[in-house]
């Protein structure tokens, strides 16, 4: 396999926090014949959990990830997006696919940070990703093709259901699924409290109320 083909198929993950780590775990669980995965994070200690995973390479910088991977997943906070995108832009070309998880950051803004015609796909998973039960919406920017959207759909199906949507619907979906999951968590917790009040051990009450919600 040529280096270019290998780079095109490999995945880079920048930001291995709550959602980044969940996506990574999903990718590891889903694909035994998986692509190479390169990861970086401001806090190197967050990466140590993945040190022994086969096929994962821990990189010392975001730029190193961008140099090695053809598909880049950015899972940093919206406020960090501009500096991260601008720092990796020089290492991306017209074939690189950038997947942004940042809530509320439109593809047009990311394209402007990139300063060139680059493929951007914006995605909105939710924290159900931690157990493979995310519902994820995605939409492509102006330089991303339908095939690019399908590629991202395939990758994120590792963490749950995926819907390809129009960008104008992304903010509504962010409220519905990204934030909405917290309401269900509160209900499950309250039901578990009821079980504990009635005499059940907490772990059993929680397991039963959580499963009842599914």
Residues that bind ligand NAP (CB under 6 A): 14-20, 40-43, 46, 62, 75-78, 80, 84, 101-103, 124-127, 178
Instruction: Report the nearest approach of ligand NAP to the CB of residue 170 (Å).
Output: 11
- Distance separating alpha carbons of residues 96 and 115, to the nearest angstrom: 14
Structure tokens at 37: 């995965």
Instruction: Report the nearest approach of ligand NAP to the CB of residue 108 (Å).
Output: 17
Query: Smaller CB distance to ligand NAP: residue 6 or 64?
Result: 64
Query: Smaller CB distance to ligand NAP: residue 10 or 126?
Result: 126
Query: Smaller CB distance to ligand NAP: residue 37 or 102?
Result: 102
Instruction: Report the nearest approach of ligand NAP to the CB of residue 79 (Å).
Output: 8
Instruction: Report the nearest approach of ligand NAP to the CB of residue 41 (Å).
Output: 4
Query: Smaller CB distance to ligand NAP: residue 132 or 195?
Result: 132
Residue nearest to ligand NAP (CB): 17
CA angle in degrees (0–180, nearest 5) for 35-127-84:
60
Place of tokens 């022994």: 52
Instruction: Report the nearest approach of ligand NAP to the CB of residue 54 (Å).
Output: 23
- Distance separating alpha carbons of residues 98 and 87, to the nearest angstrom: 13
Structure tokens at 9: 């198929």
Give, in order, the Cα–Cα distances in Å from 84 to each of 95, 118, 149, 198: 19, 15, 22, 51
Query: Smaller CB distance to ligand NAP: residue 159 or 205?
Result: 159
- Distance separating alpha carbons of residues 167 and 169, to the nearest angstrom: 5
SS3 category, 86: helix
């Amino acid at each position: 396999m040529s280096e270019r083909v290998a780079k095109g198929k490999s995945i880079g993950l920048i930001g291995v926090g709550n959602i980044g780590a969940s996506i990574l775990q999903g990718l590891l669980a889903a694909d035994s014949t998986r692509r190479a995965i390169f990861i970086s994070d401001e806090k190197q200690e967050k990466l140590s959990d993945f040190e022994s995973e086969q096929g994962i390479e821990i990189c010392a910088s975001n730029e190193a990830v961008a140099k090695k991977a053809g598909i880049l997943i950015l899972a940093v906070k919206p406020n960090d997006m501009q500096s991260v995108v601008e720092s990796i832009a020089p290492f991306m070309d017209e074939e690189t696919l950038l997947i942004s998880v940042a809530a509320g950051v439109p593809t047009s803004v990311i394209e402007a940070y990139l300063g060139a015609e680059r493929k951007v796909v914006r995605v909105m998973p939710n924290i159900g990703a931690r157990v493979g039960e995310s519902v994820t919406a995605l939409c492509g920017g102006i330089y991303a093709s339908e095939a690019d959207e399908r590629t991202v759909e395939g990758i994120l199906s590792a963490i749950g259901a995926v819907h390809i949507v129009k960008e104008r619907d992304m903010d509504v979906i962010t409220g519905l699924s990204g934030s909405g999951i917290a309401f269900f968590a509160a209900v499950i917790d309250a039901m578990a409290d009821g079980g504990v009040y009635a005499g059940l051990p907490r772990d059993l009450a929680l397991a039963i109320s959580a499963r009842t919600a599914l």
